[in-house]
Amino acid sequence: MTRRWTITSLLLLLIYVCSRSANAQTQIPEQTNTIDLEAALPEPRAYIPDSQYLDFVYHNHEELTRFLRATSARYPNLTALYSIGKSIQGRELWVLVVSSSPYEHMLGKPDVKYVGNIHGNEPVGRELLLHLIQYLVSSYETDQYVKWLLDNTRIHIMPSMNPDGYAVSKEGTCDGGQGRYNARGFDLNRNFPDYFKQNNKRGQPETDAVKDWISKIQFVLSGSLHGGALVASYPYDNTPNARRLKGICRSSALCAMFQTYSAAPSLTPDDDVFKHLSLVYAKNHAKMSRGVACKSATPAFENGITNGAAWYPLTGGMQDYQYVWYGCMEVTLEISCCKYPPAYELRKYWEDNQLSMIKFLAEAHRGVQGFVFDNNNNPIERASLKIKGRDVGFQTTKHGEFWRILLPGYYKLEVFAEGFAPREIEFVVVEQHPTLLNVTLTPSKRTEGSLPISQLYRPVPGPPPHLYRPPTPGYSGDSGLFSSITSGLNNLYSNLFG
């Protein structure tokens, strides 16, 4: 697997270098703006809970379903309810879209999402997402910020990705694993294809449903809500270096423990963006950014954020998959020290998180966005894009759209599509509004013997839509006593903390 990718990436690099020297073009396009400025809006107002519609109590699957159905019936112009599939025990995996265009994608505007309760025994996020729905629909008419957000974003909210696990969880249980897994005992946040290592876990219906979902909708930004810690944890969750200490450490359990505690960060090329997104959540939270440890034996996180692998590496997590395969920036939001706190604490959790949950989603409107067209103004689907120097690629939608969250600065966008000459375009990102960038590609003059790009850039699903592979991870496989001890400890560790 690794070797195949290395060869492929060398080939890609070669073709890229050749095509660049022949076709490099640079242009600073005119930038205009039609999007309202988020910065000019007043802060969103606090939510006034209305127990007539939604109380601060835990809702079982039937009650959750009833709330979602009633809300979509009450707000037909702002919500649409759909299911992406069923859990093993047949519970619907509900998603409610909240937007001023709930049934249709808004051309050029981002789709974003929250996923709650992937670990069934971590249901605070599940309940907060119901309150987020209630907050958004009831504030649209009265709150300028919420109106701006819903007019410019489609927010897909999945309160529970693991309803079967939730059904066997126990209120008041702060630690432990009962209900964490799906009905077949799989940890859904270890069940996705992994960028760094072969993941041999059998794909579960809940995971497959999510994979299918995100292959159909280009999500720009996502939050996955967990409990058991208080921190925003960003990719990568896995690392190429998990066996780094093997030579030094031999195979003692103590060493494995040491390695787990001293896990090295595994940073993405968009580390600045991921840190920023995590900080937006932490700083708008009532206390996350203080970085106080949940318990004396658990880590304290500076500013309330951490790189996932630096905390503890894991294989098969959801956030790495979304980012590497689909260019969706997802952050894991650990929002309660106690995994399943008593219901009377839910109101407090809502108060602590409400501003974070909204401000985080608004970050989808930062960076660059636009369309890729051909000479006749037809959109080009699945053009491969990359921000120069950031070697994780992304692709255009069927409407030719793309989005990429970036901090203010000067960048180059590299655009490739089969049958067209590649282009490189310079652009500037500012703080106040997204940069709108339309790219027109001209057909390439085919030369004898050149490979069509499609043979190299395999469409999703499949290997990640990379243009280049980042430096090859220095490992070969994941077997042996040491790694099984490590992964055993990681499991223990994540049961305790994540």
> Exposure string (b/e) for 334-367, b if CB count within 10 Å is 16 or more?
bbbbbbbbeeeebeebbebbbbbbbbbbbbbbbb
Shortest distance, position 120 Cβ to ligand NAG, whole Å: 35
Q: Does the footprint of Zn ion cover residue 156 (CB under 5 A)?
A: no
Shortest distance, position 99 Cβ to ligand NAG, whole Å: 13
- Segment lying near Zn ion (by CB under 5 A), choices 56-64, 118-126, 351-359, 381-389: 118-126
Residue 375 partner contact from ligand NAG, Zn ion, none using kind-dependent CB cut-offs of 5 to 8 Å: none
State the number of CA atoms in the 13 A half-sphere of 326 facing the CB. 26
Taking the C-alpha atoms of residue 190 and residue 177, their distance in angstroms, rounded to an integer, is 14
Q: What angle do CA 94, 98, 104 make, to 5 degrees?
A: 95
- Segment lying near Zn ion (by CB under 5 A), choices 114-122, 154-162, 381-389, 443-451: 114-122
| DSSP code per residue over 123-159 | -HHHHHHHHHHHHHHHHTTT-HHHHHHHHH-EEEEES
Which single residue brings its beta carbon nearest to Zn ion?
226
Q: Does the footprint of Zn ion cover residue 119 (CB under 5 A)?
A: yes
Task: Please say whether the beta carbons of 281 and 333 come within 8 A.
Answer: yes
Exposed, middle or buried by CB within 10 Å (0-12, 13-18, 19+), for 18?
Answer: exposed
Least Cα distance to 119 among 207, 194, 59 occurs for 207
447: Cβ contacts below 8 Å, ≥ 6 apart: none
Q: In 3-state terms, what secondary structure has residue 180?
A: coil
Q: Closer to Zn ion by CB, 44 or 177: give it.
A: 177
Shortest distance, position 150 Cβ to ligand NAG, whole Å: 13
How far lies 197's CA from each of 56, 396, 429, 459, 478, in Å?
41, 27, 34, 21, 7
Count residues near Zn ion (CB under 5 A): 4
Q: Does the footprint of Zn ion cover residue 246 (CB under 5 A)?
A: no
Shortest distance, position 173 Cβ to ligand NAG, whole Å: 41
Taking the C-alpha atoms of residue 141 and residue 323, their distance in angstroms, rounded to an integer, is 34
Question: What φ, ψ does residue 383 adopt, rounded to 5°?
Answer: -65, 145
Residue 76 partner contact from Zn ion, ligand NAG, none using kind-dependent CB cut-offs of 5 to 8 Å: ligand NAG
Q: Closer to Zn ion by CB, 162 or 444: give it.
A: 162
Residue 164 partner contact from Zn ion, ligand NAG, none using kind-dependent CB cut-offs of 5 to 8 Å: none
Residue 438 partner contact from ligand NAG, Zn ion, none using kind-dependent CB cut-offs of 5 to 8 Å: ligand NAG
Give the residues across from 115 on adjacent strands: 158, 224
Q: Closer to Zn ion by CB, 99 or 233: give it.
A: 233
Shortest distance, position 375 Cβ to ligand NAG, whole Å: 14
Active site residue 334: yes
Q: Closer to ligand NAG by CB, 195 or 371: give it.
A: 371
Q: What is the DSSP letter of 43?
A: P
Residue 119 partner contact from ligand NAG, Zn ion, none using kind-dependent CB cut-offs of 5 to 8 Å: Zn ion
356's enclosing H/E stretch is helix 346-362
Shortest distance, position 111 Cβ to ligand NAG, whole Å: 17
Shortest distance, position 76 Cβ to ligand NAG, whole Å: 6
Query: What is the bridge-based pairing of β-strands 368-374 and 384-387?
Result: unpaired
Contact letters for Zn ion, residues 187-226 (x by CB under 5 A): ---------------------------------------x
Shortest distance, position 37 Cβ to ligand NAG, whole Å: 16
- Segment lying near Zn ion (by CB under 5 A), choices 102-110, 121-129, 147-155, 298-306: 121-129
Shortest distance, position 143 Cβ to ligand NAG, whole Å: 16
Residue 350 partner contact from ligand NAG, Zn ion, none using kind-dependent CB cut-offs of 5 to 8 Å: none
Q: Closer to ligand NAG by CB, 379 or 461: give it.
A: 379
Q: Closer to ligand NAG by CB, 305 or 436: give it.
A: 436
How far the first Cα of the chain sits from its last, in Å, is: 30
Binding stretches for ligand NAG (CB under 6 A)? 32, 76-77, 371, 436, 438
Q: Closer to ligand NAG by CB, 149 or 436: give it.
A: 436
Q: Which residue out of 206, 330, 334, 414 is catalytically annotated?
A: 334
Least Cα distance to 416 among 16, 5, 70 occurs for 16
How far lies 260's CA from each of 175, 195, 252, 489, 498, in Å?
19, 20, 13, 8, 14
Q: Closer to ligand NAG by CB, 71 or 307: give it.
A: 71
Q: Closer to ligand NAG by CB, 106 or 489: give it.
A: 106
Residue 32 partner contact from ligand NAG, Zn ion, none using kind-dependent CB cut-offs of 5 to 8 Å: ligand NAG
| DSSP code per residue over 280-319 | HHHHHSSSGGG---SSTTS---GGGEEEHHHH---SS-HH
Return the beta strands (E) in 31-162 as ranges: 79-86, 92-98, 111-116, 154-158
Task: Give 249-253's long-range contacts (Cβ < 8 A, gap of 24+).
Answer: 249/482, 251/481, 251/482, 251/485, 253/485, 253/489
Least Cα distance to 361 among 184, 113, 164, 70 occurs for 113
Residue 226 partner contact from Zn ion, ligand NAG, none using kind-dependent CB cut-offs of 5 to 8 Å: Zn ion
Residue 179 partner contact from Zn ion, ligand NAG, none using kind-dependent CB cut-offs of 5 to 8 Å: none
Active site positions, annotated: 334
User: Which stretches of the chain bind Zn ion, using CB under 5 A?
Assistant: 119, 122, 226, 498
